[in-house]
Chain A
Amino acid sequence: QLQLQESGPGLVKPSETLSLTCAVSGGSLTTTNYYWGWIRQPPGKGLEWIGSISYTGSTYYNPSLKSRVTISVDTSQNQFSLNLTSVTAADKSIYYCARMWLKRPKEYFFDYWGLGTLVTVSS
């Protein structure tokens, strides 16, 4: 059974960089037709996609966050990571990692999700 586990600091200072890692177990990052994504959810609000990456490093980013986001992959460790720069209070959210099926032109959905990790932005 595929499992995803987010890890990283639960508290980040304003203007600093939020860094999270998602460890994948029970399956390989290198599986064809899958990308690996980050989604966030402010407390009590809806889901917002941040971006997704393939095991080759090909990325898609949410245009509204693209200037601050970098997603990277480490196939040797079977994990992928998120960096979000210049954080503000508005970035306080539960951050989820998830596996995304991707088959062009229009098959895109998330079939496995991590449990999520709450990140607060405060000095």
Chain B
Amino acid sequence: SYELTQPSSVSVSPGQTASMSCSGARLGNKYASWYRQKPGQSPVLVIYQDNKRPSGIPERFSGSNSGNTATLTISETQALDEGDYYCQAWDGSTGVVFGGGTKLTVL
């Protein structure tokens, strides 16, 4: 079955840029999406189709996807950006696949 691997945690200082990765076999041939989930809340879509932002998501959020790795980048990180971030893709055999999630801490 297809798997997506994410680092368990990423820390960043306020105002700095946070980057988190999502790795999977030939992920660059698929579209990656990203979700942010704050404690006690439902996930929220922040990036879809590798680098598109839904309405209401700040331009500070950007994404890329190439080779085996997709990356979510948050510039000028703020405390309100803290949460768990999940990547997601579709595999023809497995269906929808989520990564294990990365906890973003803004120190």
Contact = CB atoms under 8 A, between A and B. Distances in A.
Contact of B95 (A63, A101, A106, A109): A63
User: Number of contact residues on B: which range applies?
Assistant: 20 to 34
Contacts of B35: 47, 110
Nearest to B94: A63
A113 B35 CA distance: 11
A110 B30 contact: no
Interface string A73-114: 000000000000000000000001000110000111111011
A102 B102 CA distance: 25
20 contacts: A46-B98, A47-B86, A47-B101, A49-B95, A52-B95, A52-B96, A63-B1, A96-B43, A101-B48, A107-B31, A107-B49, A108-B31, A109-B31, A109-B33, A109-B45, A109-B48, A110-B43, A110-B45, A110-B88, A114-B42
Nearest to B41: A115
Interface string B52-68: 00100000000000000
Contact of A106 (B30, B54, B94, B97): B30
Contacts of B100: 46
A113 B95 contact: no
Interface of A: 37, 39, 46-49, 51-52, 60-64, 96, 100-101, 106-111, 113-116
Contact of A46 (B48, B86, B90, B94): B86
Interface in B3-54: 29-31, 33, 35, 42-45, 48-49, 54
Nearest to A112: B45
A49 to B, nearest CB: 4
Closest 8 CB pairs of A and B: A49-B96, A108-B90, A109-B33, A113-B42, A47-B98, A109-B48, A46-B101, A46-B100
B91 to A, nearest CB: 10
